Structure 1
Amino acid sequence: MKKILVRSGMSPLDTFSADEIIKRNAIGNNVGNLMYAYSVFRNLTTENVELVSDYYRTNPLDAEMINETYDAYAIPLANAIRPSFIPTLKKYTELIQKLKIPVYVIGMGMAFPYEPNISSKRPFDDDVKRFVSAVLEKSNILGLRGQITSDYLSYLGFKEGQDHQVIGCPSMYTFGENIKIRDIELNTSSSISVNMTPKADQEVLKFLNSLSDHYKNLNFIPQDMDEMILTYSGTPFLGGAINTKVDNYPNNLMSNVYKNNQVKFFLSAPSWIEHMRNVDISIGTRLHGNVAPTLAGTPSITIPIDARMRELSEYHNFPRVSIEEINAETKLENLLEKVDLHSIEKSHQRNYNNFINFLNKNEIEHVYNYNAKGLKLPFDDKLEKIKLLDPVSPITSCSSEEMKERLQKSFEIMVPKQEKENNKLKGKVKEKNKKLDKKENKIKKDEKVISDLKLDIERKSKDLKKSKEQNKKLVLKLQNIENSRSWKLTRPLRLLRQKR
């Protein structure tokens, strides 16, 4: 049987507890990462192929082991083209260059502003070039999340259709071409799912945050690791999270959705999708927050806030509204009138066929025939044999026993994390001290040079002053000679000599 190594923090078949996920950071800081990993596992697992998670291990020294153990390496990437991910991208480049097996990049994207200037030079351009070039030596073509990423790689010199191909987010093909969105009749009893991003515009956050005042059957679905820790333990570890100072955002236990036990943090993609089957509509600024309901057949409205979301929502034709369409007067029913809740269905068949075309170009075995017929997949058989864990609810909703257990586990996680963080800080302080020492030594050398220059200037100033005094004396002496009686008497003789 063939074995494919897959970049993921955990396999969809892993049932890590919440504290284990936090300890490992198995969601890669965002639980949305589990969604596209689920799709890759489900679509590429066949009777002849087994997929294995790499648990986000990126070590070029593993190359020999990977070559000996696996037949290929599948690397699903989200917004990998961003400054904070470049160090990891460099490691992948070094690792890939040492591999002798095929390497498939499935769904790489970027994190640019909503209206990016593609042709502007970026400090990581060369790093991206090296990564793409390394992958193309191990596969036929890269799969990209959207047209903006495609335009960027074309700007770097790679050819669209030959080196790279837009395939969208692989999470959208979890169940193949089988997407059918239900209709909705909105009322105050409707089940609403809300997702938010701290970076979203304040008007958007105000609107989303206010929905809990109008719809009591509402749940907030957070995705970030900071939010998972808040939900699990009641407070972020190691100080405040990024979103703690954001207004109109559920970032503490005093927020309405936390006080009313309206928060669910999912520990697996299958359980997240299953929950969404019982929701009437999902709305928010998170991509995978609206992919999950889409896969469940639930209507959704997406509010793109950057180029990453823009290219994906446009490619998959998500029902969407712009930031500018939301203000203090906006109501959910107003937005429903502006969108076509079935728009995804109109392009999904074409997008899925394009995805299969991408897999075929790379000669990747897949389960297209199963998906096309809606049959049970080999991976589904494996999934049915495990018991998925329930989502994490706020610690304030737990029994006293569970609360004690969570706090104890949180403390056990926090101490080594704090020590690790302290060691990192010590390392950074040490590195900064080294740089400061170098700067101080350079300053001392510069000061010595400046001091020597000053002495040299003083010496030259004295010499110049002395020369000026000598010149002055000579001028005076010459004037005395020219004014003398003898000089005047001998003038005719000097003129006669000049004529000769």
Structure 2
Amino acid sequence: MTDGQKTHLKISLPGKRACFWGAPAHAVTTGNLPAKLAATGANTGNLFIGHGLFHGLDCARKAFHPGFGAIPAERLHEHFDLVVIPASNFVGNGVDLTDHADYFARSKVPLFCFGLGSQVLPGQEVALKPGTERFLRLLSERGGSVGVRGAFTAEVLWNLGIRNVSITGCPSLLNLRPSTVAKLAASKPSLDKIAVNFSNNVRRHSIAATGMRASENALFQRVIHENAYYILQNETPEMALLDAMARNDAAAASAVLPRIAELFDVSGSREDVRRFLEGRIRVFFSVEDWVGCMGTMSASLGSRFHGNVAALLAGTPALFLVHDMRTLELCELLRVPHLVLDRAVPAEETVERLLAADYRPFARQFERLMMEWRLFLHRNGLGSELVTEGAETAEAPAKAELALTA
């Protein structure tokens, strides 16, 4: 980074029209809780992926694709000059992207993909659905380089014969400011007020399911006695509890409490468990609100990558609990403090690792990552600009749209 770390990166496409397809970028403000969750792509963490790339790009006009039925693929180039894809876990044996491959193959616009990831387990056979493999090859053919989350995903694509990849991490960190990085490097985590997150509903793709379960359950039983808040992303029973309480449905809330407690191997009849679940669960449908909340915390820890990214964007130190290859490759790339749940980790050890978290390696690595981002953009024919922090001008409302109306 130049000028004494006073600048950050912006993607620059002067005069161009960018069509976004992929992770959402805007706050969800209407509907009940289940409807809001569905609007995020069934995981609130997706908001950070789209938000980072959407707001990190300057161009003449940008909008999310209104749906494949709204604009014929053959006419997409009349509306847009580039398709920007804030990607997630597309490289998986259960993912079917046939419709997407068919649509974009008929279009004429370049494809720019940032953040592609895989959750295939180590040693597991990669058996992608034909439509998904066609879509990945289309990304390779229509773009100068495919941006992947880490070395693991790069290797999966390499074995498929896709070689034009760049290891870029996740676009959720594109808007991280130098002053925030400096704050993280100087941070001292504490247990004064902590945010916790869990992945108790996705243990099927963990590196070691037994160790992960034991580690998360031990941590839960510890944090209910701290000044802690449980931040959700897509945990169904916990979401159902929040929804029931929002509707003042005491019967529904009482019915779901034991289900949540059972996930953490505790009794739902315990007063401390009930009090924590009823009073300390939170969920956010706005990146700004989420990051703002994390700014009030003294630390964050858990196995949700974007739950901890929310903390980093606020300058709050986090300990990433690694349970799958997606999180591992990102943590290794970013050099953030992390602990691999490949065994039953006692809660006290987890807390000790949190309190010892050192973000100076991350600060040094982030400078190098910014340079890789610039090279990645150049490989895709995109421009980049180093903007002095605090010198940004407000974006004109006409430049950004939630969706284009055909």
Q: Could you tell me how far apart the structure 2 residues matched to 1:80 and 1:332 are?
A: 31
Match for 2:79 among 69, 73, 78?
A: 69
Q: Which moved more, 1:244-253 or 1:326-335?
A: 244-253
Maintained 8 Å contact 1:282/1:298: yes
Alpha-carbon offset, residue 336 of structure 1: 3.4
CA separation of 1:336 and 1:259: change in aligned 2, threshold 3 A: closer
Which amino acid is the alignment partner of residue 296 of structure 1? A
Equivalent position of 1:51 in the other structure: 62
CA separation of 1:63 and 1:250: change in aligned 2, threshold 3 A: farther
**SS state of the match for residue 113, structure 2?**
strand
> After the TM superposition, which residues 140-155 of structure 1 pair with which residues of structure 2 at under 5 Å, given as runs?
140-155=144-159
Maintained 8 Å contact 1:102/1:139: yes
CA separation of 1:376 and 1:224: change in aligned 2, threshold 3 A: farther
Equivalent position of 1:211 in the other structure: 222
Maintained 8 Å contact 1:125/1:156: no
Q: Could you tell me how far apart the structure 2 residues matched to 1:314 and 1:23 are?
A: 32
Q: Could you tell me how far apart the structure 1 residues matched to 2:92 and 2:261 are?
A: 24
Matched, 1:374 2:385: no
CA separation of 1:82 and 1:333: change in aligned 2, threshold 3 A: closer
Which amino acid is the alignment partner of residue 29 of structure 1? A
Equivalent position of 1:390 in the other structure: none
CA separation of 1:38 and 1:185: change in aligned 2, threshold 3 A: closer
Partner deviation per Cα, 1:404-452 (whole Å, 9 max, x = no partner)? xxxxxxxxxxxxxxxxxxxxxxxxxxxxxxxxxxxxxxxxxxxxxxxxx
> After the TM superposition, which residues 219-230 of structure 1 pair with which residues of structure 2 at under 5 Å, given as runs?
219-224=229-234, 226=236, 227-230=238-241
Matched, 1:19 2:32: yes
Maintained 8 Å contact 2:149/2:329: yes
Alpha-carbon offset, residue 123 of structure 1: 2.5
Alpha-carbon offset, residue 68 of structure 1: 2.1
> After the TM superposition, which residues 315-394 of structure 1 pair with which residues of structure 2 at under 5 Å, given as runs?
315-324=333-342, 327-328=345-346, 330-336=348-354, 339-366=357-384, 368-370=385-387, 373-378=388-393
Equivalent position of 1:461 in the other structure: none
> After the TM superposition, which residues 84-103 of structure 1 pair with which residues of structure 2 at under 5 Å, given as runs?
84-86=94-96, 89-103=97-111
CA separation of 1:369 and 1:338: change in aligned 2, threshold 3 A: closer
Maintained 8 Å contact 2:194/2:228: yes
- Which runs of 5 or more residues in structure 2 are unaligned? 1-14, 204-208, 401-406
Alpha-carbon offset, residue 250 of structure 1: 9.9
Maintained 8 Å contact 1:303/1:322: yes
Percent of aligned pairs sharing the same letter: 21
**SS state of the match for residue 219, structure 1?**
strand
Alpha-carbon offset, residue 352 of structure 1: 1.7
Q: Could you tell me how far apart the structure 2 residues matched to 1:170 and 1:59 are?
A: 28
Alpha-carbon offset, residue 192 of structure 1: 0.4
Q: Could you tell me how far apart the structure 2 residues matched to 1:348 and 1:158 are?
A: 26
**Higher helix residue share:** 1
Equivalent position of 1:3 in the other structure: 17
**SS state of the match for residue 338, structure 2?**
coil
CA separation of 1:138 and 1:195: change in aligned 2, threshold 3 A: same
Maintained 8 Å contact 1:61/1:95: no
Alpha-carbon offset, residue 138 of structure 1: 2.0
Q: Could you tell me how far apart the structure 2 residues matched to 1:318 and 1:265 are?
A: 24
Q: Could you tell me how far apart the structure 1 residues matched to 2:154 and 2:69 are?
A: 28
- Size of the aligned set, in residue pairs, is 363
Match for 2:317 among 299, 302, 327?
A: 299
Which amino acid is the alignment partner of residue 62 of structure 1? P
Equivalent position of 2:195 in the other structure: 193
Equivalent position of 2:112 in the other structure: 104
Maintained 8 Å contact 2:33/2:243: no
Q: Could you tell me how far apart the structure 2 residues matched to 1:105 and 1:185 are?
A: 35
Maintained 8 Å contact 2:119/2:325: yes
Which amino acid is the alignment partner of residue 21 of structure 2? R
Equivalent position of 1:429 in the other structure: none
Partner deviation per Cα, 1:450-480 (whole Å, 9 max, x = no partner)? xxxxxxxxxxxxxxxxxxxxxxxxxxxxxxx
Q: Name the Cα RMSD after superposition.
A: 3.4
- Which runs of 5 or more residues in structure 1 are unaligned? 386-500
Which amino acid is the alignment partner of residue 80 of structure 1? F
CA separation of 1:259 and 1:155: change in aligned 2, threshold 3 A: closer
Which amino acid is the alignment partner of residue 80 of structure 2? Y
Structure 2 length-normalised TM? 0.78
CA separation of 1:283 and 1:361: change in aligned 2, threshold 3 A: same
**SS state of the match for residue 94, structure 2?**
helix
CA separation of 1:259 and 1:224: change in aligned 2, threshold 3 A: closer
Which amino acid is the alignment partner of residue 353 of structure 1? M
Alpha-carbon offset, residue 382 of structure 1: 5.5
CA separation of 1:288 and 1:96: change in aligned 2, threshold 3 A: same
Alpha-carbon offset, residue 184 of structure 1: 2.3
> After the TM superposition, which residues 163-178 of structure 1 pair with which residues of structure 2 at under 5 Å, given as runs?
163-175=164-176
Asked which structure has the greater CA Rg, the reply is 1
Q: Could you tell me how far apart the structure 2 residues matched to 1:375 and 1:67 are?
A: 35
**SS state of the match for residue 154, structure 1?**
helix
Matched, 1:33 2:41: no
Maintained 8 Å contact 2:189/2:356: no
Q: Could you tell me how far apart the structure 1 residues matched to 2:70 and 2:160 are?
A: 25
Q: Could you tell me how far apart the structure 1 residues matched to 2:305 and 2:243 are?
A: 23
Partner deviation per Cα, 1:87-144 (whole Å, 9 max, x = no partner)? xx2221111111111111111000122xx12xx6432165444222212332211100
Q: Could you tell me how far apart the structure 2 residues matched to 1:244 and 1:259 are?
A: 8
CA separation of 1:257 and 1:166: change in aligned 2, threshold 3 A: farther
**SS state of the match for residue 5, structure 1?**
strand
Q: Could you tell me how far apart the structure 1 residues matched to 2:276 and 2:77 are?
A: 48
